[in-house]
Amino acid sequence: MSVLFVFAHQDDEVPVLTRIAFELARGVRVRCAYLTDGASGVPAAVRDAESRSVLASLGVAADDIAFLGGERRIADGRLAYETPRALELLRAFAAPLPPPARVYAPDWEGGHADHDAAHLVALGLARELGVADVFTYSLYNAYRRPRGFFRATSFVPGTEPVIARKLTLREALLPVRAIARYRSQRRTWLFLGPGLTVRALVRREERLRRADPSRLRAAPHRGPLFYETRFHVSARAVMEATAELRALLSRS
């Protein structure tokens, strides 16, 4: 049995390190695929090495970590415009094995356009392979936040209930300790780290939610999306670029 984790960037795995460890502890083969080069400000090779090191420390095999596309990877920030190619690359990575029992991906939440696009690509593959169990996790979003502010690891309200799992102290420390190993992303985790730390150490919770394709008919939430105010990416452009895939998935 295997499970597949789909990420947009290197370090997107941090909020689900507890789930990766949980699957591995039960003898499940964990495979991780990254859809962009993550190289907006740091060389891709640097970021690859950071994620590979953290995943290897948990027990993920080197052959099960894929930075898709090789030297012709999809550029950071462009995933929404490259979903057909990303799906093709992910399909090729998944092909040698039977379909995964579960797929994990970032939620549809409007935090980063690449995260939302990774959500769509993961659902697209799950649809093709007949995988019913697709679970999402939150990174960050601007739901009910003043312009320019965000919430970390907190879901936008949806129809599916949040699935919370209590963590042991050892489990809770996994993502907190891992943050320091992403040296190229210190600035990012300076902002995201406190929210994740509170969730892990104070609440001792891992939170997932089943993907709901019906949500894809509209933007993740009302009001400005975080990627609009922080990264100056047009939500309208992202929605138009992904319209065909979203329509297909929302009918599933």
Query: What span, in angstroms and rounded, lies between the C-alpha atoms of 166 and 203?
Result: 8
- Give the residues of the chain that fall short of pLDDT 50: none
- pLDDT score, position 224: 96
- pLDDT score, position 157: 96
Return the number of other C-beta atoms located less than 10 Å from residue 161's C-beta: 8
- Name the pairing type of β-strands 134-137 and 102-106: parallel
Domains plus CATH for the chain? 2-250 (3.40.50.10320)
Contact indicator for 199, 137 with CB cutoff of 8 Å: no
- pLDDT score, position 208: 98
List pLDDT tens digits, range 110-128.
999 999 999 999 999 999 9
List pLDDT tens digits, range 72-96.
999 999 999 999 999 999 999 999 9
Contact indicator for 28, 1 with CB cutoff of 8 Å: yes
- pLDDT score, position 71: 84
What DSSP assignment string belongs to 121-177?
HHHHHHHHHT---EEEE--EE-TT--TT--EES-PPP-SSPEEEEE--HHHHHHHHH
Q: How far is CA 56 from the centre of its chain?
A: 18
Among candidate residues 139, 234, 133, the one with its CA nearest the CA of residue 196: 139
pTM of the model: 0.98
First to last CA, the chain: 25
- pLDDT score, position 171: 97
Residue 46 exposed, middle or buried by CB count within 10 Å (0-12, 13-18, 19+): middle
- Name the pairing type of β-strands 151-152 and 162-166: unpaired
Contacts of residue 187, Cβ cutoff 8 Å, sequence gap at least 6? none
- pLDDT score, position 109: 98
Contacts of residue 135, Cβ cutoff 8 Å, sequence gap at least 6? 102, 103, 104, 105, 163, 208, 209, 210, 211
- pLDDT score, position 163: 98
